[in-house]
Structure 1
């Protein structure tokens, strides 16, 4: 039987002895060349995964994880509007299935095929992404059942709409709001298309889970607004953004159309399981002012308590089952191993208290290339961020060797322990009626 249940059988993950251990390979795909450096950011290409995918999937099999998050490079699958090239994706997903690794398919990870002009702001984007998702689901109907429609919608909207790092290069809060709405429209159309292909498909909604606070009384309101923005994508797609929502007036002031917002209310999506991406180096955000009075954000390193706070916060808000869909620390193997132990212990405490944390994903399984590579000029090896179970290290031929760290054995032991590694889920952990966010 598949480790990943279908939509009608999802409840079996709430059994006390059920738990999903997973890994994932960083799959950021920003295919537009940077205007100054000409560089792109395709993590599969930069880390050599396109050439070494068989070896990398064999490493997952060595861990024994029953499932893995795996990104599909849409820009390679559909290099032109009416051209489809499934060779790499077919081979990789078939190999995962043969190895008894259930794929959690990551459909969009920040970037789009370059022929989609204006990227997410192209008026036809929701239909393009829905068609792509449906075609993939048809190829693996009945065998691949879990799909992430779009990884981290808020971060996507931030880098594409507020910071202007990625297409379509907007640099304002109005840009952020426009991007967020377009992205969420795409998620809604994607889920509908997937479930038309196979009603048993499980949409696995994944977003970054920042926690904002401040010691400055003048920034309390801003910290609260930033915290509400963290939930905005999930609130939109699940029909929670009505006129009573904390962000309604702000969204309208930043250019959102009332009719468009109300469309999300008409056919809200269910949230069968929510993936929370959290990192001790990124997730805690503290607002402060510098000497000139300008707003600044610091990111203090967090302890394992962060996992508990996030788990309770999301379960209280949505009443849905949860899974840690990304977590890792950077630096030495000892530091990473300490975070593994802290975060798994926090998952155990959540389950004892009845919060349905149903799985855990170490991400990335080997080092990633930092996003600054695309706009920088330093060599690739200067941009390696060691966060994985394996390190990446250049060999004499310039290839990135996968070097096993002590985390591999530690993670393998957790996986072998199954649910016993995190303890049973208390009886009160069944999903409950979600609270409205307004």
Structure 2
């Protein structure tokens, strides 16, 4: 597949298409023990020797808990339609159950009201990995009781904020929480057991479905959905063993989540592969998991190349790599979106995360990140191509607004379109942020031109293409 070249033309996206930026609570907020916040599993995991590459933690991070107002001004200056953020469960309900923390709730209430004041739509994520550590002490996501605590949490947050929230995501990337947190153990809570990981997957999906049921019963009007991290899987060669391995890995990453959410079943080949490690499923679980959603969020960063022989050297492809060592492969996003639309009865799709970590150059008060600008532009063009092929897309969000705590990598990797000096907490818009801001201004100008043409009479010239870069 030939890569799309965004430097020729970018599609004028339709009215209603949502442009945004995204963050998560643990990665930016800091204030780890302030105003009644309880510890999360990531607060605990950061204290494990060797768990974080630079031995850092999220105690301060980007100090967003203190600097939220100026950060919202920065978001508004970009001209985005939406801000996707997550709530820290232990900040609002420190033990995961029982008493609520009013100071924590007040913070998110101020944040949401601040967004609305600036004309920005709040897109809330309930769980971006920072489970209250108190629940982990009782089994965490491996324990079915946590499913019900999550539903309580979801109902409590929407009771407080639901009248002002545009969109609510239950979970961000359940694969990461299950597989990296409970199978390989390289993310919090650091458990290494495949059977536990598979049960965690089931409980995450079940809590998603039960939460949607409860919120709709409560009359919540926000759009409800889930966010998955997905990648197209390509075999390293045409050898039968590579093709067979690729199908299995596709099942473990993509079909293991998409099939239960949209078909009400786990894929048979993956269940057979798991054997005794397959999750325990109670009557009614799959029906709850497959409750219809209002949207599906997809986080995309790269493809995966699969070899039956083991690890595949990513450098063999000859493609440019990000600082995470991931291939820059924007055509994979088009491939993925088209497949979702073809293989499943999906609701409108969002790209809820997309971005790259790069080693930026800070010179004369400017941050030059041409690689990131190119990455974002090419992936936006890939979304446009998916739309050209008939995929119903609802929006695109850059990951991330700010340089931040990048989980097990600590502060060594920078994904932000805004540079953060972690010593002074000074923010500097990178060249990529300036490009994104200018691109969005052009998009809005094109929309206004189309609207004016429609009011003045028949449009005789196509306005579907905009020079964007």
- TM-score bucket of the superposed structures, by smaller chain: 0.7 to 0.9
Residue 31 of structure 2 corresponds to none
Q: Deviations over 1:332-386 (max 9, x none)?
A: 4100111122111122222222211221101111112222256xxxxxxxx2422
Residue 125 of structure 1: CA displacement?
0.5
Residue-by-residue CA offset, 1:392-418 (whole Å, 9 max, x unaligned):
224xxx223211112222211232344
**Contact persistence 1:238–1:268 (CA under 8 A):** yes
Pairing 1:203–2:224 present: yes
1:399 aligns with 2:424: yes
Q: TM-score, normalised by structure 2?
A: 0.76
Displacement after TM superposition at 1:297 (Å): 6.9
Report SS of the residue matched to 1:275.
Answer: strand
Q: Which residue in 2 is equivalent to 1:235?
A: 259
Q: Distance in 2 between matches of 1:285 and 1:131?
A: 37
Cα distance in 1 for residues equivalent to 2:335 and 2:463? 19
Change (3 A) 1:295 1:301: closer
Largest Rg, 1 or 2:
2
Unaligned ranges ≥5, structure 2: 1-12, 28-41, 315-324, 361-368, 448-461, 465-469
The alignment status of 1:225 with 2:248, answered yes or no, reads yes
The aligned counterpart of 2:387 is: 351
Closer/same/farther in 2, CA of residues 123 and 265 from structure 1, 3 Å limit: closer
Partner of residue 270, structure 2: 247
CA distance in 1, matches of 2:74, 2:152: 32
**Kept after mapping to 1: 8 A contact 2:181/2:189:** yes
Q: Tell me the distance in 1 between the aligned counterparts of 2:99 and 2:399.
A: 32
Q: How many Å separate the matches in 1 of 2:234 and 2:56?
A: 32
CA distance in 1, matches of 2:199, 2:371: 39
**Taking structure 1 as reference, are residues 167 and 348 closer, same or farther at Cα in structure 2, changes over 3 Å only?**
closer
Match in the other structure for 1:263:
285
Could you list the runs of 4 or more consecutive aligned residues of structure 1 that deviate by over 6 angstroms after TM superposition? Answer: 37-42
Match of 1:319? 345
1:329 corresponds in structure 2 to 356
- Matched with 1:100 is 119
Distance 1:41 1:71 in 2: 21
Task: Give the TM-score taking structure 1 as reference length.
Answer: 0.81
After TM superposition, list the pairs within 5 Å mapping 1:293-308 onto structure 2.
294-295=310-311, 298=314, 301-308=327-334
Tell me, yes or no, if structure 1 residue 32 matches structure 2 residue 34: no
Cα distance, 1:43 vs structure 2: 5.0
Distance (Å, rounded) in 2 between the aligned partners of 1:296 and 1:173? 22
Distance 1:145 1:195 in 2: 14
Per the TM alignment, residue 288 of structure 1 is displaced from its structure 2 partner at its CA by 3.1
Residue in structure 2 matched with residue 19 of structure 1 by the alignment: 17
Are the counterparts in 1 of residues 51 and 186 from structure 2 also a CA contact under 8 Å?
A: no
Residue number among 62, 75, 92 corresponding to 1:60 in the alignment: 75
Task: Pick one of 109, 112, 117 that aligns with 1:90.
Answer: 109
Per-residue deviation, 1:161: 1.6
1:378: which partner in 2? none
- Shift of the 303–235 alpha-carbon distance from structure 1 to 2, 3 Å rule, reads same
Cα distance change, pair 261–309 in 1 and its aligned pair in 2 (3 A): farther
Q: 1: distance between equivalents of 2:247 and 2:305?
A: 12
RMSD: 2.8
- 1:127-146 alignment runs, 5 A limit: 127-146=148-167
- State whether structure 2 residue 104 is matched by structure 1 residue 79: no
Distance 1:44 1:277 in 2: 26
Aligned-partner SS, 2:416: coil
Residue deviations 1:261-313 (CA, integer Å, cap 9, x gap):
8631366211321111111xxx2222236xxx544574651332122111111
Partner SS state of residue 350, structure 1 = helix
Change (3 A) 1:297 1:265: farther
Given that 2:126 and 2:154 are in contact with CA atoms closer than 8 Å, whether structure 1 keeps it comes out as yes
